[in-house]
Amino acid sequence: MKIALGCDHAGLKLKNALIAHLKEKGIETVDFGTYTADSCDYPVYAEKTARAVIGGECDLGILCCGTGIGMSMAANKIRGIRAAALSDAFSAEATRRHNNANILCLGERVVGEGLGCMLADIFIETPFDGGRHQKRIDLISKLDDR
């Protein structure tokens, strides 16, 4: 398992905590930046992270910003990405089981490091259920073609 991570200045602390947490668990990470607290543009890092997931360099991605919302909006512009901004355990599990989400978006100003790490664990460890849900994923993918 290899996880792509990216953030803007408002998600830097959370991204760094997630990288340390995942490495402790033996999960390989690829850090697409940003690397400083200097103000920057989140779509740049959302795209880098999303392209690593879509291109197969990484299995899943995690993006961090102030709320997780901006990152999810930017990442979802990349064909094939299903990014979800969330802050609770039920949604972290459901978005993998039912939506086959491939990027988790977290807000540093919304979730603390402990909750963020817990949500990342749930997201990474939860499989896609397939079955009746696959038809819906296929319908989502067709939207990319319209």
Residues 139 and 53: their CA atoms lie apart, in Å, by: 20
Neighbours of 7 (CB within 10 A): 31
Do residues 57 and 84 touch, judged by C-beta distance below 8 A? no
State the residue for tokens 């200045």: 9
Query: 98, 105, 117, 133: which is the annotated catalytic residue?
Result: 98
Q: Report the CATH number that the domain containing residue 48 is assigned in CATH.
A: 3.40.1400.10
Is 65 one of the annotated active-site residues of the chain?
A: yes
Query: 7, 64, 65, 105: which is the annotated catalytic residue?
Result: 65
Residue 118 in this model has a pLDDT that exceeds 90: yes
- Tell which residue, 3, 9, 1, 142, has the closest CA to residue 70: 9
128 lies in which domain range?
2-144
Is 21 one of the annotated active-site residues of the chain?
A: no
pTM of the predicted protein model: 0.97
Both tokens of 127, joined, read 């499989």
Q: What is the pLDDT of residue 145?
A: 84
Counted domains in the chain? 1
**Beta strands 103-107; 2-7: pairing state:** unpaired
Q: What is the pLDDT of residue 144?
A: 85
pLDDT digits (tens, 9 = 90+) for 57-81: 999 999 999 999 999 999 999 999 9
Confidence of residue 48 (pLDDT cuts 50, 70, 90): very high
